[in-house]
Chain A
Amino acid sequence: MNELVSELKNAIIEALNLEDVKPEDIDNDAPLFGDGLGLDSIDALELIVLMEKRYGIKLQDPAAGREIFRSINVMADYIAAHRTK
């Protein structure tokens, strides 16, 4: 799981161009949206692409994304349970 969490953090930093953010800056339980990383609606859509491209998980409904992208840990749990690659 730890491996997935750290891989996920690096993937998010790369996909969302979070140039000045380091993996250790992202709290595993902190909300990804809102104040924390300053992510917006386009980032949420880009995370949907990341889920499909990297883990083969198709999220049709952007509203479902909101639940899954609550925190790194929630995201990692979801990926571990649903990944197809």
Chain B
Amino acid sequence: MLRIRRWVRITPAGAVVDGVPVRLEPTEDPLPVALYRPRVGGYPKFFKMDPLCRVGFLASELLLDGETSRFEPREDRAVVLFTQSGSFASDSHYERTIADAADYYPSPAVFVYTLANILTGEIAIRNKYYGETSCYLLDREDVETMVETVRETFLDGATHSVLGGWVDSPDSANFEAELFLVEESEEGAEWAADELRRIMKDK
């Protein structure tokens, strides 16, 4: 049976790993940076990421923290992302770089993040995952489709593990990530819509 081996939730209220809140020293930094410094560090690409990638990347880091042979190249883990706002934060930012003819300087560094699947690439690059990366846009309420889509990802015979879940960040102040490590296992809660709803609960 597919089960949730580990899960992470990040919202502006804080980060939670398997139900246990992550304790942070008080800081002036916004939450993503406050999490990055003590829990990740040494990965300057983080500061180039857009709001969606920052929160999704952090959630993946907390999810994988402590995993043995973490950075060994592998093809058997897929990264499957669900989002509704997708790249909106970067779309809107990029639009501002081209809106005014007198101040027209289209930014390639912003434009590249106007694709929501860049987040799956960021996670694959960081962890050397050669497996499937997929990004789906759907409504937050449509939990059944998320559950089924992750289940169907295992129909690729090479996929034995899925790092997947919900990540949304329409702007830098509003963000939410619920990422799961889903695998065939004897342990953990069943990978099912009710369990996801329980973890995603209130926004």
Spell out A's residues near B (CB within 8 Å): 15-21, 38, 42-43, 45-46, 49, 52-53
Other-chain contact of B47, A15, A18, A45, A52 (Cβ < 8 Å): A18
Chain B 3-47, CB-CB to A under 8 Å as 1, else 0, gives 000000000000000000000000000000000000000001001
The 8 Å CB contact of A17, one of B48, B105, B106, B112, is B48
In the assembled complex, how far is the CB of residue B199 from the closest CB belonging to chain A, in whole angstroms?
31
Q: Closest B-chain residue to A43, C-beta based?
A: B109
Evaluate contact between B48 and A45: CB separation under 8 angstroms: no
- Docked complex Cα distance between A49 and B105 (Å): 7
CB-defined interface of B164-203 with A at 8 Å, one 1/0 digit per residue? Answer: 0000000000000000000000000000000000000000
Q: Is the CB of A53 within 8 A of B44?
A: no
- A16 in contact with B109 (CB, 8 Å): yes
Minimal Cβ-Cβ distance residue in A for B106: A49
By secondary structure, the B interface counts as helix
Q: Are A49 and B47 in contact (CB under 8 A)?
A: no
Q: Provided the pairs A49-B105, A52-B105 are in contact, do residues A19 and B44 lie with their beta carbons within 8 angstroms?
A: yes
Q: How distant is the Cα of A43 from the Cα of B45 in the complex, in angstroms?
A: 11
Choose from B44, B47, B107 the contact partner of A46 (Cβ within 8 Å): B107
How far, in angstroms, from A21 to B47 measured CA to CA in the complex?
11
Asked if B105 contacts A53 (CB within 8 A), the reply is yes
- Check: B157 CB closer than 8 A to any chain A CB: no
Chain A residues lying within 8 Å of B66, measured Cβ to Cβ, are none
- Residue contact B107 to A49, C-beta cutoff 8 Å: yes
Q: How many cross-chain pairs have Cβ atoms below 8 Å apart between A and B?
A: 29
Chain B residues whose C-beta falls within 8 Å of the C-beta of A19 in the assembled complex: 44, 47
Q: Are the CB atoms of B108 and A45 closer together than 8 Å?
A: yes
Q: Which residues of A contact B109 (CB under 8 A)?
A: 15-17, 42-43, 45-46
CB-CB < 8 A to A43: which residues of B?
109
Known A-B contacts: A18-B44, A43-B109, A52-B105. Give 12 more (CB < 8 A): A15-B109, A16-B48, A16-B109, A17-B109, A18-B47, A19-B44, A21-B44, A38-B44, A42-B109, A45-B109, A49-B107, A49-B108
Give Cα A49–Cα B48 distance, bound, in whole angstroms.
16
Q: In the bound complex, how far is the Cα of B105 from the Cα of A18, in angstroms?
A: 20
Return chain B residues, CB-CB under 8 Å to A49.
105-108
A-B residue pairs in contact (CB < 8 Å), sample of 17: A16-B109, A17-B47, A17-B48, A18-B47, A19-B44, A19-B47, A20-B44, A21-B44, A38-B44, A43-B109, A45-B109, A46-B109, A49-B105, A49-B106, A49-B107, A52-B105, A53-B105
CA distance A20 to B106 in the complex (A): 25
